[in-house]
Structure 1
Amino acid sequence: MPTFRYANPPVIHWGPGCVAAGLPGELGRLGAGRVLLVTTRSAVADPALAPAVEAILGERLAGRAVVGQHAPVGEVMAAAEAARDLRADALVSLGGGSPVDAAKAVAFSLATGLDLRAPDAPARAREATVGPVLPHLALPTTLSVAELSSSAGFSAEGTREKVGVSAPALCPAAVLYDARLAVRTPVPLWLSTGVRAVDHAAETLLAEGEHPLPDAAALDGLRRLAAALPAVRARPGDEAARTECQLGAWLTYLLPGPAARGLSHTLGKRLGSRHGIPHGVTSCLLLPHVLRYLAPRAPGPLARIAAALGAPDAAGGVAALLDRLGVPRRLSEFGLSDADLVEAARPLATAALPLEDLVGILRAAS
């Protein structure tokens, strides 16, 4: 019989100013007195981001760790070592998916004793016993919604392949969606990660099995995003529009495991870390072509996506939204060769998804 299990964080705050109002109380609830802030270089450079959060943390701030795009594993392990040396009893992530995932990976490494830089770390991680983990509070500034799942992706040394770890205990203890932080995010990044959220909605509806609550939420999230993302493009400082985007992105991700394993996501991950393409941008490049390819296989879900977008068909509705947002649309802009496309698709090929079909999607996106 169908079964649904909640897999999102237990506490979610939203609204302008919720970090200043809610973060101290959440840390108090967790009994946290020594916090490691995991963030990005751009957030550190913006007085309204990392410095402002550090002021809110006050005496609880034990230190700061900085990670780059796609959470390079060396930087993740440097953050884990900092957390250990500083005797941190909680993690706070600030930024997009990279610092959020990095904080989860730090907690995993500390709980298991695994050095994630080791070549066999992903295999060992699947068998590892996860002990008590450092609690993690997430302050997202993009719409990637990494904060809503219990898995963490990071890029391996050398190959830059995206690998990851997962355990239920890695789900953040609380998420705070604060539009006063979000308005500092550049509009192109905000919009591309918003398309990632649109991708989550589509992948939720396309996932195997029955999931009525995630489906209903994803459709509502899709409608919210279709209205609010163009509003942010028109009015970047509109805190209400940023909040509406955050709520829409949250609603698209009530089925985090299956939604992250859909075809657009898996193809995008093969391209992203290896070729330096942000994950939000890979959704901009691939999603309409994936939906067009899947149309004969999943007419019901795609009809619901089209209806939510007010469009005759799902692929066309998404493409029209992307045109309104002015996001990147062509894979050829990133200098990939046809051999790169074949290399990206080959590990994903199956009898149900032949290599020539997958390469055809990528060529259509080029």
Structure 2
Amino acid sequence: MSQVRAFSYQSLPMRVVMGPGVLGRLADELDAAGLKRVLILCSPPQQALGEVVAQLIGDRAVGVCPHARMHVPVESAAAARDRVAELGADGCVAVGGGSAIGLGKAIALELGLKIIAVPTTYAGSEMTSVWGLTENGRKRTGKDPRVLPVSVLYDPELTLSLPALASATSGMNAIAHAVEALYAPDASPVISLMAEEGVRSLAAALPAVVAKGKDLLARGDAQYGAWLCGACLGATTMSLHHKLCHALGGTLDLPHAETHTVVLPHALAYNQPAAPDAVAALQRALGGVDDPATALWELAGRLSTPRSLRELGMEEDDIDQIVEQVLAHPYANPREVTADGLTRLLSRAWAGEPPAA
């Protein structure tokens, strides 16, 4: 017998502006947020773009901080907070991928300043209230509404110079957000629809983005998918996949998006037997495939991304400490997480073998 629907859903209090050339509307977004003195945050490779953004808004840019780092080390966050105080900034504009946006979140968490995000990858972290900080080889994460950007500008023209590998892995990272949202304990019909559409859009767009780097339509579709997938992560509870990636990234300093790309098919394969509704949604999103986990592993292969943790610098001897760390502080998960199951999952991911339940 069918059950009456029962769920809760809360929309994110933020503004999204999407389309070619929308970077030119940044001044309007600053006005809407009431910001008059902002620090531009970016990673070292994005410093030139950070300077362009600073020039675009003139005197309202008090400086460019090009020191964002992957996994947001607490030292980097402290230095950026000091820079904000020194310059008297009343907000930040984070330009780039997860490193820059993560640094903005760290500043917002500590100082309560408003953040505007201008993403140049497809990871989707700009759509979430999730923050992360790494200290002494451990990555701490949490959720706080203060870190949610007040506005996000998705301009596909800013992604045209994004290398094929970064496009592919950041897109797979976003897909991982939607996959976990589909079997999250606090999923809702609204989020499930967004997750399915986000996976469909990204899975269809990424091959064209990688094969034809100047395809603005494909890049726009990928940003659309990233928006949806990121919003899913922002509205639901993270599960095994994200716990594994946080442990691998924080402890071993593995590259963020590449780690998500490698782990996703294996974590999904582990959970598929306990998540039939999620499997059905992913089957539809991926074009009627039988096994979504294998389909995502094959998609990663077509995109020429890494498919083993060994390629990312992990040693086989590291498996035991990651298993121990994940079991010590587990996340909610549809299937019971055991030491044996985790060891088998990580062993296959380390070796680059196809995923298996």
Helix, strand or coil: the match of 2:230? coil
TM-score (norm 2): 0.90
Task: Go from structure 1 to structure 2 and tell me whether the alpha carbon gap of 1:168 and 1:335 turns closer, same or farther (over 3 Å shift).
Answer: closer
Q: CA deviation at 1:230?
A: 0.4
Helix, strand or coil: the match of 1:277? coil
Do structure 1's residue 59 and structure 2's residue 59 form an aligned pair? yes
Query: When the two structures are aligned, how many residues end up with a matched partner?
Result: 337
Give CA-to-partner distance per residue, 1:26-47, whole Å, 9 cap, x none: 1112222211111111011x3x
Q: 2:310 aligns to what?
A: 332
Task: Go from structure 1 to structure 2 and tell me whether the alpha carbon gap of 1:260 and 1:64 turns closer, same or farther (over 3 Å shift).
Answer: farther
Distance in 1 (alpha carbons) for counterparts of 2:34 and 2:271: 48
Distance in 1 (alpha carbons) for counterparts of 2:162 and 2:14: 26
Q: AA paired with 2:253?
A: G
Give CA-to-partner distance per residue, 1:75-114, whole Å, 9 cap, x none: 111110111111101110011111111111112222xxxx
Q: 2:3 aligns to what?
A: none
Q: 1:297 aligns with which of 274, 278, 285?
A: 274
Q: 1:192 aligns with which of 155, 166, 169?
A: 169
RMSD: 1.7
Task: Go from structure 1 to structure 2 and tell me whether the alpha carbon gap of 1:210 and 1:145 turns closer, same or farther (over 3 Å shift).
Answer: closer
Distance in 1 (alpha carbons) for counterparts of 2:72 and 2:59: 27
Q: AA paired with 1:149?
A: T
Q: 1:255 aligns to what?
A: 232
Q: CA deviation at 1:257?
A: 4.7
Q: 1:17 aligns to what?
A: 21
Helix, strand or coil: the match of 1:68? coil
Q: Structure 1: where are the runs of 5+ without partners?
A: 111-132
Give CA-to-partner distance per residue, 1:123-177, whole Å, 9 cap, x none: xxxxxxxxxx211100011112111112211221xx2321235321221110001
Do structure 1's residue 317 and structure 2's residue 295 form an aligned pair? yes
Do structure 1's residue 147 and structure 2's residue 152 form an aligned pair? no
Q: 2:8 aligns to what?
A: 3
Do structure 1's residue 361 and structure 2's residue 339 form an aligned pair? no
Distance in 1 (alpha carbons) for counterparts of 2:239 and 2:35: 37
Paired residues for 1:64-79 under 5 Å: 64-65=64-65, 66-79=67-80
Q: Structure 2: where are the runs of 5+ without partners?
A: 1-5, 351-357
Q: AA paired with 1:324?
A: R
TM-score (norm 1): 0.88
Q: AA paired with 1:51?
A: E
Distance in 2 (alpha carbons) for counterparts of 1:234 and 1:31: 41
Native 8 Å contact 1:194 1:245 kept in 2: yes
Native 8 Å contact 2:184 2:237 kept in 1: no
Distance in 2 (alpha carbons) for counterparts of 1:364 and 1:286: 10
Q: Taking every aligned residue pair, what percent have the same amino acid on both sides?
A: 34
Most deviating of 56-65 and 335-344? 335-344
Most deviating of 11-20 and 258-267? 258-267
Q: AA paired with 1:70?
A: H
Q: CA deviation at 1:271?
A: 0.6
Give CA-to-partner distance per residue, 1:19-72, whole Å, 9 cap, x none: 11x10001112222211111111011x3xx122111112111111222122222
Distance in 1 (alpha carbons) for counterparts of 2:157 and 2:235: 31
Paired residues for 1:87-106 under 5 Å: 87-106=88-107
Q: CA deviation at 1:339?
A: 2.9
Q: 2:39 aligns to what?
A: 36
Most deviating of 211-220 and 274-283? 274-283
Distance in 2 (alpha carbons) for counterparts of 1:42 and 1:298: 40
Task: Go from structure 1 to structure 2 and tell me whether the alpha carbon gap of 1:202 and 1:164 turns closer, same or farther (over 3 Å shift).
Answer: closer
Q: CA deviation at 1:268?
A: 1.1
